[in-house]
Amino acid sequence: MTLLSSLGRVSRSAPLASKLLLLGTLSGGSIVAYSDSNTAVNKKEEQKKKKVVVLGTGWAGISFLKDLDITSYDVQVVSPQNYFAFTPLLPSVTCGTVEARSIVESVRNITKKKNGEIELWEADCFKIDPVNQKVHCRPVFKDDPEASQDFSLGYDYLIVAVGAQVNTFGTPGVRENCHFLKEVEDAQRIRRGVIDCFEKALLPGLTEEQRRRKLHFVIVGGGPTGVEFAAELHDFIQEDVTKIYPSVKELVKITLIQSGDHILNSFDERISSFAEQKFLRDGIDVQTGMRVLSVSDKDITVKIKSSGEVVSLPHGLILWSTGVGTRPVISDFMEQVEQGGRRALATNEWLQVKGCENVYAVGDCASIAQRKITEDIANIFKAADVDNSGTLTMEELRDVVDDILVRYPQVELYLKSKHMRNVNDLLADSEGNERKEVDIEAFKLALSEVDTQMKTLPATAQVAAQQGAYLAKCFNRMEQCKEQPEGPKRFRTGGHHQFRPFQYKHFGQFAPLGGDQAAAELPGDWVSAGKSTQWLWYSVYASKQVSWRTRALVVSDWTRRYIFGRDSSRI
């Protein structure tokens, strides 16, 4: 709308000819070109530019925007935050090991380097309308009537990267009485909350029971976030709180409640048990096999799964970190595209939402519905059997094997899981000898188990960032790949896919456990734990920062913590 107002300004002063020119430009697309000489050229360019609307500026959205070449797109971003947050460091913010501002970077700063302008609007998208190719948005400034008018944006391509929200599993009292740890504001609130607990426990007039209640920190969920928060809190209490709240340090207790049998159960077993042993030594009470029934402002009620016993625990502060749920705008969109009832938007392997080819979904709000190879076996066989002999020779197979491996990544995972070298091994006869050719039945039998290796990608920053970057690469070569498709064979319809499907590359995962110890699971089944792993963690997390500014700030925060400890001012 800068457009309309500048238009108004110009038309008041400019002669008729340029008015007409401007109107012509306006109808064409977006930015108004003032200079007469290159208007015609610009006009053509503008007309060609497709409108890309991006919802969200988390890991997926930002890595898409960073890598996108915007010379051929008109990009508009809608996000309730004007910054990107390095979420893996959120647990560190809760106790002041790292400052909130050190892990955020302005989106405008990240995107301004581009040779063009990306428009960003601080608003929430509350409705996606795929039929009219529009999104409806509401600015975040609720208390300002002028600046809270809903608006809508048309798109040619829509990138949905709004992330997920906390999953309370419908447990009563969770929204009212628990802290979450999804956003920077959450981490800041927890930091103030932790310090409040100590200040409250010191007040005159409380019984010892009440003081103990204030200083009972409960964490629900034994995933990486919950475990890291427990570790941070324990370090904060050991290293800093003992010095400034000496009179209540004996009353502090940390309890971690996990519904499964082990904490960190997405990690290797060795890491789970390393973490459990370290927490045992640290005095962090790990309670597994418990289900939370309800939460009040004073107590949390849990059911011990093994005995069926119901217990109430008093609490001062609860962190609820038990997996991800669906945002309302996504639920609504799923209803429209007949995906109702799912947790996340189903996309194909090219991250396109099933049922809307020009809508892409990336990050925690989406999940790839991998195509089963068993559904396509007949087509694959037919496409590979070029001489229509009814059997596949090894030569015929060799021509399509790469396409199969790219299109159905579960094949490679299956081969690996069975310790096979290649597809020939898979098609070997019952004695393990290579065959010269296979018929359709043998082919079906050989591939029948392959789909068991299909995996859903976890809701992590790593996945989201890779998806965003992948999508930007596709967009940057949209025209080029239309003419020269680079994807695998289309076994059903013939020809080739425009792009190679998205493939996730796992670089490992960390679990900081406090006391300068961390555990890590690295590619190739490497597992490491201890102090050196913490240093690896420091260097990886520093290198992964989105800008030199945040890198410098995070490293200086770590240094400051070593020298001065954590600050306990309640701001």
CB 104 within 8 A of CB 85: yes
Closest CA to 324 of 288, 350, 268, 363: 363
Burial class (CB in 10 A: 0-12, 13-18, 19+), 431: exposed
Closest CA to 378 of 323, 447, 285: 447
Measured CA to CA, the distance from residue 315 to residue 338 in angstroms comes to 42
CB 252 within 8 A of CB 508: no
Place of tokens 């299956």: 414
Measured CA to CA, the distance from residue 69 to residue 75 in angstroms comes to 10
Place of tokens 């898979």: 426
Comparison of 1 and 17: residue with beta carbon closer to a second copy: 1
Place of tokens 């396409």: 403
Both tokens of 380, joined, read 């694959």
**CB 492 → a second copy: shortest distance, Å?**
43
Beta bridge partners of 73: 50
Closest CA to 467 of 47, 21, 61: 61
Residue 6, Cβ neighbours under 10 Å: how many?
13
Positions that interact with a second copy (CB under 8 A): 1-2, 5-6, 8-9, 81-83, 99-101, 104-106, 108-109, 112, 117, 119-123, 139, 141, 144, 146-147, 149, 151, 184-185, 188, 195-196, 199-200, 202-208, 210-211, 213-214, 243-248, 297, 548-549, 552-553, 556, 560, 563-564, 567-571
Comparison of 8 and 341: residue with beta carbon closer to a second copy: 8
**Dihedral (C-alpha) 114, 115, 121, 126: value to the nearest 10 degrees?**
-80
Beta bridge partners of 128: 135
CA 397 from chain center: how many Å?
38
Strand pairing report for 290-295 and 73-79: unpaired
Measured CA to CA, the distance from residue 350 to residue 455 in angstroms comes to 16
Measured CA to CA, the distance from residue 419 to residue 350 in angstroms comes to 29
Residue 323 identity: G
Comparison of 532 and 556: residue with beta carbon closer to a second copy: 556
